[in-house]
Amino acid sequence: MHFSIPETQELKDAKQGQTFVAYIIHANGSLHCLLRYKQLLNFHEQLKKQFGSNCLPYFPPKRLLPLNQTQVEERRIQLEKYLQIISQDDRISKSDYFNSFLLHAQQETNNCAPEDVDLDIYLMNWESIRVKVLKTDKTSNVLESASRSIQLSIEKMCYFSLFIVRQEEANFIILRRLMDFESPYLTLKNFNTNCNHHRLVMRKNYWDSSFDDILMDDKVSFNLLYSQTIIDIERGWIKVNKDVEKQLSNLKSKGSKRELIELAKTLKFYGYIQFEPCICDHPSPNTSVIVNAGGKELVITTIGSSNKATEYVFRVTRIRCWRLTTCLDDDKTEFNAKNVNKLTRFELSFEYLFNKDCLKWITIKSDQQSILMSMCLRGMVEELLMKRKGINGKDDGNLSQGLSKLSIKKDSYQYLKRDGTSQPINLPKSVTTDNFINCSNQTRMRRSQSLNGVIRVRPSVANDAFDGIGDDDL
């Protein structure tokens, strides 16, 4: 996951009549919440209570006097770095408190009460499932409601996720996967603020095609897999020649779903995600490319009217690390939290081992989809690590082994609201952790920028599945 604080914002305290600085927190490229410093400080203190101070990075301290503009900017950078570091630690980012805090923050930012609402979830064949949920329900609860509605077993649910997609006429673009610290209702509402073309879609969420066998022994999950396969073929994500196209058409007309899937699994880019055209600096600067992610690789294909398309395959096990770069355009538009997405562009860079002792950085400019590419890399790495640890099924992203139970009192964690009041965060009676030692008056807080905008480089994500090149590879 990717956290950033692209801007700060001045808000007015309705009770005290004073203004305060709010930090605009983005999760995976879109607005998630606005938080005051004291809320983030309380968050840090309660993480210390659960994990210990030695497991947490530096947190900017309190200041006795009001901050000037330079100090606010310094604190923004420090808080952003703090969130990025803790979100890369699975013990923290997968803890109940971490996810519950961010869910409460999204609810407060949207001033949303836990009211019943009908929510449409779409399958890959665009069949709609209407489920009754709370506006504040988190992603896993909504996914469970949708699964129960179509009678998908809970054991198979972890192979699927909810995604935000944007419809463009007959086509659709996958924007990102929803995390468990957000409400699908609120996230969809924010995406549809300016246009009503976004949908919640339920689709499979794994890269290893061997997991298909697990889904094919259940009627409901089998049909979900079949529908997604058909859609990927029809929109050209799976590469099909004319002879195979006839075979697939015959199998479809006969209703031979299993045979069709087995044939599709032999085709190029089966189970891959294809991204919108973007720009890459490989093989040369400003090359127009199509990126496909799946299996254990990224495939970059050059596009253009004059040159023949060329494919470049980048194996995940040879990507040593990757990072996201945020470019914030310096335009003259008045800033507010709802249009901040328009100001931000992203780039994904990864360091690739081409041959022994030859590591090079490859950069892909793809705006919002750069974050989804990063999440795809993370997902493929996690599955590779699962295989190495002998896990033969989907683990719902939890790769930690030998976990222990740390008992805590129920309701012992609090969410501090902007106005200083608190409400309990109801966690389970035991929290899973690793063993460890020890808006009104909105104004833009401007800062010094270059002519071409601000460029912020995020900390690199290390690839734990990285393999060096041995003699057999040379």
Q: Is 401 within the bounds of a domain?
A: no
pLDDT digits (tens, 9 = 90+) for 397-456: 443 333 333 434 444 788 999 988 988 887 754 433 333 333 333 333 333 333 334 455
pLDDT digits (tens, 9 = 90+) for 302-331: 987 666 889 999 999 999 999 988 765 554
Q: What is the CATH number of the domain that holds 420?
A: 3.30.1520.10
59 near 41, Cβ under 8 Å? yes
* One domain for residues 225 and 138: yes
* One domain for residues 468 and 363: yes
* One domain for residues 129 and 256: yes
Mean of per-residue pLDDT scores for the chain: 84
* One domain for residues 127 and 259: yes
319 near 352, Cβ under 8 Å? yes
pLDDT at residue 391 tops 50? yes
The domain boundary, picked from 214, 232, 264, lies at: 264
pLDDT of residue 306: 62
- Closest to 381 measured CA to CA, from 399, 359, 354: 399
Range of the domain at 226: 116-264
Number of neighbours of residue 202 by Cβ within 10 angstroms = 23
Q: Is 258 within the bounds of a domain?
A: yes
Q: What is the CATH number of the domain that holds 387?
A: 2.30.29.30
Provide the pLDDT confidence category of residue 76 given band limits of 50, 70 and 90.
very high
Q: Is 163 within the bounds of a domain?
A: yes
pLDDT of residue 213: 94
Q: Is 444 within the bounds of a domain?
A: no
* One domain for residues 54 and 175: no
pLDDT of residue 109: 95
Highest mean pLDDT among 191-195, 248-252, 394-398: 248-252
* One domain for residues 326 and 460: yes
* One domain for residues 420 and 462: no
Q: Is 439 within the bounds of a domain?
A: no
pLDDT at residue 396 tops 70? no
Tally of domains in the chain = 3
* One domain for residues 105 and 132: no
| CB half-sphere exposure, 119, CA atoms < 13 A | 32
The domain boundary, picked from 264, 298, 327, lies at: 264
* One domain for residues 412 and 469: no
* One domain for residues 242 and 351: no
Q: CA 263 to CA 324: how far, in whole Å?
A: 37
Q: Is 450 within the bounds of a domain?
A: no
pLDDT of residue 442: 37
pLDDT digits (tens, 9 = 90+) for 111-156: 999 999 999 999 988 899 999 999 999 999 999 999 999 999 999 9
Is residue 262 left, alpha or beta, with left meaning phi > 0 and alpha meaning psi from -120 to 50? alpha
Number of neighbours of residue 333 by Cβ within 10 angstroms = 10
Q: CA 173 to CA 448: how far, in whole Å?
A: 35
Q: What is the CATH number of the domain that holds 238?
A: 3.10.20.90
Of all residues in the chain, the percent with pLDDT exceeding 70 is: 83
Q: Is 446 within the bounds of a domain?
A: no
Q: Is 260 within the bounds of a domain?
A: yes
* One domain for residues 190 and 149: yes
